[in-house]
């Protein structure tokens, strides 16, 4: 089984319900959710919005490959109402990011693991460190 850390965020609709639905669907389609962080409220990052985010992180044990997980999480986002319009940051019902997959390093146009911006984002690192305290920034 692989250890997969996912980041979750929502700032549209019933934010907590969106995150809870996403976790349920991930547990059904990706693997066993073995740890879940607290949910924190944060300001938008990279864009301006009047809507605050709820963010959290989960650890999933899965036998799926990274690209399979990416496809499933993107499908879950669409099912929960996420609309993709270009590459600019914007409000969203749900965002699911693959943060870590074991100790893999993947750098392709559509998939980067570890997530390239996670160490710059407190809304990712605070929940992630809660469930993975041993995480170290390679730049440190």
Could you give the residue numbers annotated as active site?
82, 92, 95, 97
Main-chain dihedrals φ then ψ at residue 21, nearest 5 degrees: -65, -45
How many Å apart are CA 106 and CA 68, to the nearest integer? 14
123 contacts 12 by C-beta, under 8 angstroms: no
Cα separations (Å) of 20 from 45, 67, 116, 127? 22, 23, 25, 15
56 contacts 22 by C-beta, under 8 angstroms: no
DSSP output for 106-131: EEETTEEES-TTGGG-HHHHHHHHHH
């Amino acid at each position: 089984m692989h250890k997969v850390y996912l980041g979750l965020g929502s700032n549209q609709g019933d934010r907590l319900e969106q995150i809870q639905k996403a976790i349920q669907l991930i547990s059904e389609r990706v693997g066993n959710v073995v740890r879940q962080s607290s949910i924190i409220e944060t300001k938008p990052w990279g864009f301006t919005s009047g809507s605050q985010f709820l963010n959290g992180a989960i650890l999933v044990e899965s036998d799926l490959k990274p690209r399979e997980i990416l496809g499933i999480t993107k499908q879950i986002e669409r099912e929960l109402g996420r609309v993709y319009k270009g590459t600019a940051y914007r409000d969203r019902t749900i965002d699911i990011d693959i943060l870590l997959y074991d100790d893999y390093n993947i750098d392709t146009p559509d998939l980067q693991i570890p997530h390239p911006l996670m160490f710059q984002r407190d809304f990712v690192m605070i929940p992630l460190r809660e469930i993975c305290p041993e995480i170290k920034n390679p730049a440190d």
